[in-house]
Structures are given as structure tokens and as C-alpha cells.
Amino acid sequence: MKKTPIISSFHVLPILLLTISLPSINCDLVDQICKKTPFYDLCISTLRSNSNNSAESSDVKGLASVAADILLSNATDTLNYIQSQISQTSDPQMERALAYCAELYIPVVKYNLPQAIEALSKGKFEFASDGISDAAKQADACEKNFSGSLNSPLSDRNKLLHSLSDVAVAIVKLLLKG
Ligand SMILES: *[C@@H]1O[C@H](CO)[C@@H](O)[C@H](O)[C@H]1NC(C)=O
Ligand SMILES: *[C@@H]1O[C@H](CO)[C@@H](O)[C@H](O)[C@H]1NC(C)=O
Ligand SMILES: *[C@@H]1O[C@H](CO)[C@@H](O)[C@H](O)[C@H]1NC(C)=O
């Protein structure tokens, strides 16, 4: 009986096919996940912008932490921007509103988001979701502080933060549903 070579070639073929199709499985996952978030385009560009999008982004949990990492990096960048604006303005009303926004962003950047990201890695999805949605709440509260003649220099940033937070929460909610 010399069947062995035939059997082993049948084993090689599926493995070969699986290896070839892996990248498209990954793309499909991003696409599927993003369709379940409120901002499809933002979700796609956020998850694809990830520089090391290999092993980490191959499952829903990995993609949720990529989204949360980018949210934190955006919030950090916005806080730095607020602080630079505070030092540049000569309008006391503007300075007060900016200082109030900094107070709102500091806990988000220092505690809420880092704790949410840690919770995510430990599978505490409910806690992670709460921490991530705090970022949207604080961005809104910051934006509301600019009223009347005081134009917000942070509108675009606050809006992006809110949307990124909504996207990340939507992905974490998929994990909660299991
Ligand atoms: C903020 O988020 C946008 C959209 O995902 C991304 O393109 C940008 O690089 C982020 N900025 C920072 C500083 O993380
Ligand atoms: C890339 O992966 C490393 C290790 O997993 C992680 O510490 C880092 O934050 C990741 N960088 C980005 C941009 O996601
Ligand atoms: C910003 O909010 C704080 C706290 O609610 C309030 O005291 C302050 O008057 C607000 N500033 C502006 C410019 O709306």
C-alpha cells in the first residue's frame, strides 16, 4: 500500500489555502465590526491606521483595544493642545473655558482611559465600556462651556473624540454580547 503520499498532499492543500486567505479574513473582520458601529468610515480609518496591525487586530478584543488606544492618544493630543491654547490666549473668558476643559480632560487621559484599557485586557468589558464612554461625556461638557460670543477652538477635536468614543464603545459592546 503506497497511499501515504496522496493523503499527505490532501493535508497540505487546506493549510496552504488557509495561509493565503488569512489577510482577507482580517479585513473582513474589520469591515464586519465597523458596520456595527455608528461611524463606519471613521471606524475603518481608525482600525486600519494602526501601525502594528498584526496579531493584536485579529480578533474583536484586539480591535477594541486598538480603538481604545487611539482614543487615548487623541485625548492626550487634545489635552496638550488645550494647554498650549491656554498659554497663548489673552482673553480671560476664553482662558477660563479652556482651563475648565483641561480639568475635564485630565482625568480622562490620566485615569479613565488607561483604566478602561487595562480592564479591556482583563476581560472586564462592562467597566471598560463605562470608562470609554466617559471620554465622550467630558468632550461634550467641554464643548458646552463655550457659549454666546465665545467660539470654541475645540469643536472639531471634541466632535472627533465623541465619535471615536462611540466607535470604541460599540466594539466593546460586541464583546459584552459575547
Ligand atoms: C485621532 O484619531 C484619528 C481618527 O482615527 C486618527 O487619524 C489620528 O491619527 C488620531 N490622532 C492622534 C494624535 O492619535
Ligand atoms: C504595538 O504593539 C505593542 C505591543 O503589543 C504595543 O505596546 C503598542 O502600543 C502597539 N502600538 C500601536 C500603535 O498600537
Ligand atoms: C464653564 O463651566 C463652569 C462650570 O460649569 C462654569 O462655572 C463656567 O461659567 C463655564 N464657562 C463658560 C464660559 O461657559
Which residues contact residue 175 at a Cβ distance below 8 angstroms, ignoring those fewer than 6 apart?
A: 60, 61, 64, 125
Which residues contact residue 109 at a Cβ distance below 8 angstroms, ignoring those fewer than 6 apart?
A: 72, 75, 76, 79
Pocket of ligand 3, candidates 94, 100, 147, 149: which has the most ligand atoms within 8 Å of its Cβ, to mutate?
Answer: 100
The domain of 77 spans: 9-177
pTM of the predicted protein model: 0.79
| pLDDT computed for residue 103 by the predictor | 98
Q: Which residue, 158, 135, 140, is CA-closest to 72?
A: 135
| pLDDT computed for residue 108 by the predictor | 98
Is 104 contained in some domain?
yes
Mean pLDDT by 10 residues, the chain (178 residues): 52 54 64 96 89 65 94 98 96 96 98 97 97 97 91 97 98 90
Is 156 contained in some domain?
yes
Is 72 contained in some domain?
yes
Q: Quote the number of domains for the chain.
A: 1
| pLDDT computed for residue 17 by the predictor | 52
- CATH number, domain containing residue 97: 1.20.140.40
- Centre of ligand 2 to C-alpha 94, Å, is 37
**Residue nearest atom 12 in ligand 3 by C-alpha distance:** 145
**Residue nearest atom 2 in ligand 2 by C-alpha distance:** 52
| pLDDT computed for residue 49 by the predictor | 78
Ligand 3 atom with the smallest distance to the CA of 93 is: 13
Q: Which residue, 83, 74, 168, is CA-closest to 128?
A: 168
Record the cell numbers describing residue 149, joined without a space: 460670543
